[in-house]
Amino acid sequence: MNKESKIHDYSAKSEVGFVRTRRTRLQRILLELRKAPPTAIIGLFIIIFYIILALFAGQIAPYGEAEIFPIPYAPWGGDHIFGTDQIGRDVYTRLIYGARNTVGIAIITTILAFVIGGFFGLLAAILGSWTDQILSRLVDVMMAIPSLIFALMLLSIFGTNAINLIIILAVLESTRVFRLTRAVGMNVVVMDYVEVARLRGEKIGWVIRKEILPNILPPLVAEFGLRFCFTFLAIAALSFLGVGIQPPSADWGSMVRENAGLINFAHYDIKAGLTPLLPAAAIAILTVAVNFVVDWFLQKTSGIRDEK
Amino acid sequence: MHPIIITVLQRLALGILTLFLVSLVIFLSLDFLPGDFGEALLGQSAREDTVAAFRKELGLDRPIMIRYFDWVGGVLTGDLGSSFSGRNASGIDRSRTVVDLVAPRLSNTLFLALTAAVIAVPLSLFLGITTALYRGSFYDRAINVTTLTTISFPEFFVGYILILILATLYPVFPSLANIEEGSPFLDRLYKIALPAMTLTLVIVAHMMRMTRAAIINLLASPYIEMARLKGASASEVILRHALPNAWAPIATVIAFNLAYLVVGVVVVEVVFVYPGIGQLMVDSVTVRDVPVVQACALIFAATYIILNLIADIIGIITNPRILHPR
């Protein structure tokens, strides 16, 4: 092949076209992951592990969620890896089912909180004036009461069951989401491209979906992680106090309380003393993992670091 | 009038308005009680006239505004009504007044919270300021990792770890903080050692990180750089330029965390079976004793609001920009 024909073969399109091929979404995600700090990777693995546990609890767990065995407070080992609880249910099985119940309810609550808080936050940011004033003052009053105390009070009135728990916590958490959505929404609503879209005669729903939401999404996603942690800890605390998720559903918070008595036997059998700490550790590890990932995500999207 | 007095008065008025609205919310919650509540509380065998009498006693047949002002008047004169528990289907009333239930427990809770605060506030301010000054050092990073982990732990996890180590394996402190009335001060301190330690650990982590962030933020401001460039010594920069502006953020951090302490105390009291107002509230929620729950909620909310109010006022009266108006 001589030099002439090589030049002839050259086409700008083939070269540039190759370079400009967009990486697929999967490729981009994998590329980001390779650059992620080790803490974020560990966090992601832990979260995926919990999700698998939650989804396949029925297949992984050796026994049924509320199956009762003849020996209560059985020691570790043998048929029961982590022994049995106060009425003879397998602790290992209930730990696995706890991932489904506790984490599941926390996720549903957080999503509901974001739907409520996000909707009203955007409404306040777009409509402004009176709508904004009324909603904001209402949220101010709700936030003046510590949320755990408020939740306890509302639970005593509406009664303690899982659905009330989800609704009450979602409404209380949505006040925080409202504040954030309104604040970031305010900055975007005044942008020229939003005004152009509205002048063009687009419907309000279209403007929100196509122009505003994509621009306020990163802070909201990070907030979702943080809110999930708060909700998760709140549900665990309420269940621990005996007013959250009710038996016989396996739940980490109430498992800690039910087995707390075992801690006094740690002197004779250290493993028995550790039993009540297992569900508590399960809660703590997931919270740490989510925090790690959120931290990384915040650094990625905003460039803001803890330091400086 | 000096502008500072006007600002403080405005903030006070806003605080009182918030207290009023919060009391309204807490009061109105009683109205959302499901209709069959009287029956649920008095038992299946309750006669119709007993239920009607009960509803009448709650005042559910009177206009809402009148009931609210009655309630607020009662709260201000120390009368919070009487508890639901102790009533039964036969209509005999053995209930105790809410004040009788709440008062002794309130002092217990205050004792625990104050002990924790006395240890936690100086400790976290010291840690926060030193880590900010020596940031990036090994000391800073070690403290940061420790506190980040503690923040993610639920209070009861910290509490039970302490019980496992310091009460069961190495019995140094008692695991139950069942203090009684009239026991000597040192005995009480010994009994609440573990709950106070749990609260301290949880609070210090939050407070120290917030103090550190506030100080770092402050040291990055242009006038600090100006003072350094001017040739002022390190101590002069800190004492003359940074400190006067640091009171407001520090006061906010302390108030925020003391308010957090109010909430944390509920869980910690249950872990250590401490006879405080938090445990009373949880017990009352379980049996749906609404007057007691309302009283506890009001106390917690008022503490929370007042702490934030104090922090804001400290922030206002130490703000050099308002102190020396042009």
**pLDDT for residue A15:** 60
CA-based radius of gyration for chain A: 26
Residue A226 touches partner B, C-beta closer than 8 Å: no
**In the beta sheet, which residues pair with residue B93?**
B87
Query: Across the interface, do B297 and A236 touch by the CB < 8 Å criterion?
Result: no
- Categorize the per-residue pLDDT at A142 as very low, low, confident or very high, splitting at 50, 70 and 90: confident
Measure in Å the smallest separation between the Cα of B253 and chain A Cα atoms.
16
- Categorize the per-residue pLDDT at A221 as very low, low, confident or very high, splitting at 50, 70 and 90: confident
**pLDDT for residue A110:** 94
Residue A233 is nearest to which of B154, B161, B294, comparing CB atoms? B154
CB-CB neighbors (< 8 A) of A149 in chain B: 262-263, 266, 281, 296-297, 300-301, 304
Residue of A nearest to B161 (CA): A277
In chain B, list all ranges with CATH 1.10.3720.10: 98-318
* Residue range B29-47: mean pLDDT, rounded: 62
Residue A241 touches partner B, C-beta closer than 8 Å: yes
Buried-exposed string A199-230: b where 16+ CB fall within 10 A, e elsewhere: eeebeeeebbeebbeebbeebbebbbbbbbbb
Residue of A nearest to B17 (CA): A141
Query: Across the interface, do A263 and B149 touch by the CB < 8 Å criterion?
Result: no
pLDDT tens, position by position, B135-161? 778 888 888 878 877 877 888 888 888
Domain at A37-301, CATH from 1.10.287.1080, 3.40.50.720, 3.40.50.2300, 1.10.3720.10:
1.10.3720.10
Measure in Å the smallest separation between the Cα of B154 and chain A Cα atoms.
6
Query: Across the interface, do A242 and B286 touch by the CB < 8 Å criterion?
Result: yes
Residue A156 touches partner B, C-beta closer than 8 Å: yes
- Categorize the per-residue pLDDT at A150 as very low, low, confident or very high, splitting at 50, 70 and 90: confident
Interface probe, candidates A152, A255, A285, chain B, greatest B C-beta count within 10 A = A152
Query: Across the interface, do A284 and B285 touch by the CB < 8 Å criterion?
Result: no
Residue of A nearest to B151 (CA): A288
Query: Across the interface, do A281 and B30 touch by the CB < 8 Å criterion?
Result: no
**Is residue A77 pLDDT above 80, yes or no?**
no
Query: Across the interface, do A140 and B284 touch by the CB < 8 Å criterion?
Result: no
Measure in Å the smallest separation between the Cα of B65 and chain A Cα atoms.
19
Measure in Å the smallest separation between the Cα of A151 and chain B Cα atoms.
10
Cis preceding-peptide flag for B171 (omega within 30 of 0):
no
**Is residue A20 pLDDT above 70, yes or no?**
no
**pLDDT for residue B43:** 62
pLDDT tens, position by position, B269-296? 888 888 888 888 888 888 777 788 888 8
Tokens of B111: 């004792």
**Is residue A66 pLDDT above 70, yes or no?**
yes
Task: From residue A68, give the alpha-carbon distance in Å to each of A89, A146, A188, B21, B252.
Answer: 5, 39, 56, 49, 51
pLDDT tens, position by position, B204-237? 888 888 888 888 888 888 888 888 898 888 778 8
Fold of domain B98-318: MetI-like fold (1.10.3720)
Interface probe, candidates A228, A241, A252, A267, chain B, greatest B C-beta count within 10 A = A241
- Categorize the per-residue pLDDT at A48 as very low, low, confident or very high, splitting at 50, 70 and 90: very high
SS (H, E, C) chain B: CCHHHHHHHHHHHHHHHHHHHHHHHHHHHHHHCCCCHHHHHHCCCCCHHHHHHHHHHHCCCCCHHHHHHHHHHHHHCCCCCECCCCECCCCCECCCEHHHHHHHHHHHHHHHHHHHHHHHHHHHHHHHHHHHHCCCCHHHHHHHHHHHHHHHCCHHHHHHHHHHHHHHHCCCCCCCCCCCCCCCHHHHHHHCHHHHHHHHHHHHHHHHHHHHHHHHHHHCCHHHHHHHHHCCCHHHHHHHHHHHHHHHHHHHHHHHHHHHHHHHHHHHHHHCCCCCHHHHHHHHHHCCCHHHHHHHHHHHHHHHHHHHHHHHHHHHHCCHHHHCCC
pLDDT tens, position by position, A247-263? 778 888 888 888 888 88
**Is residue B178 pLDDT above 50, yes or no?**
yes
